[in-house]
């Protein structure tokens, strides 16, 4: 059952649009120039426990919030769940007070597809990557320097900031 991509303007800080992606299926595109270091869109969805997430293995839109909770973008997602992975992304994830924000890493031109590094770890199924970036690591999973998949259970970019 394919979902029709839809953006919720309430969670978009710039003009964005959906479109067919060269990377995978549907993607989200900038529909205006976006400066660096700006909040672009919030990743929303149903907040569920890790245990519940284990029961929902078929949802492709789970996002790690912290050690206990995940966000299922398939339920009440803002559209950010359609942003594809790239090994050379133009967005970075920041978790602020339980909110998952996608910030621009660099200036993004109108018409560019928005991408983020999913940072899947070795507890996730190994997923091949075809993002086309010159530094593409070949999988969506993070590998450490020895070439082994990272042992980190919560990738740095999806860790909540302590004390904030
Ligand atoms: Zn890649």
164 C-alpha vs ligand 1 centroid, how far in Å?
Answer: 32
Residues 164, 116: Cα–Cα separation, whole Å: 23
> In whole angstroms, how far apart are CA 43 and each of 32, 97, 134, 137, 150?
20, 13, 27, 25, 24
**In the chain, what are the domains?**
9-117 (2.170.270.10)
Residue 14: CB partners within 8 Å, gap ≥ 6? 30, 31, 32, 34, 38, 40, 41
DSSP letters of 112-124? PBPEE---B-TTS
User: In DSSP terms, which residues pair with 87 in a beta bridge?
Assistant: none
Task: Encode pLDDT of 48-70 as tens digits.
Answer: 999 999 898 778 888 989 889 99
59 C-alpha vs ligand 1 centroid, how far in Å?
Answer: 22
Q: Do the beta carbons of residue 73 and residue 45 sit within 8 Å? A: yes
Residues 19, 26: Cα–Cα separation, whole Å: 6
132 C-alpha vs ligand 1 centroid, how far in Å?
Answer: 6
What are the phi and psi torsion angles at 149 (to 5°)? -65, 145
In this structure, the number of other CB atoms found within 10 A of the CB of residue 18 comes to: 16
Give residue for tokens 């997923």: 127
Task: Encode pLDDT of 99-131 as tens digits.
Answer: 999 999 999 999 999 999 987 766 667 888 999
In terms of average pLDDT, the best of 81-90, 117-126, 134-143 is 81-90
126 C-alpha vs ligand 1 centroid, how far in Å?
Answer: 13
pTM of the entire predicted model = 0.82
């Amino acid at each position: 059952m394919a979902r029709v991509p839809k953006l919720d303007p309430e969670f978009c800080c710039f003009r964005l649009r959906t479109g067919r992606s060269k990377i995978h299926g549907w993607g989200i595109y900038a529909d205006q120039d976006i400066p660096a270091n700006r909040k672009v869109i919030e990743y929303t969805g149903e907040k569920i426990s890790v245990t519940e997430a284990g029961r929902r293995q078929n949802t492709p839109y789970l996002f790690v919030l912290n050690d206990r909770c995940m966000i299922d973008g398939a339920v009440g997602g803002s559209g950010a769940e359609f942003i594809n992975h790239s090994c050379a992304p133009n967005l970075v994830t920041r978790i602020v007070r339980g909110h998952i924000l996608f910030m621009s890493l660099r200036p993004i031109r109108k018409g560019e597809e928005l991408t983020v590094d999913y940072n899947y770890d070795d507890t996730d199924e190994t997923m091949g990557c075809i993002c086309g970036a010159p530094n593409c690591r070949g999988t969506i999973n993070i590998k450490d320097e020895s070439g082994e998949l990272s042992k980190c259970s919560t990738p740095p970019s999806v860790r909540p900031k302590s004390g904030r």
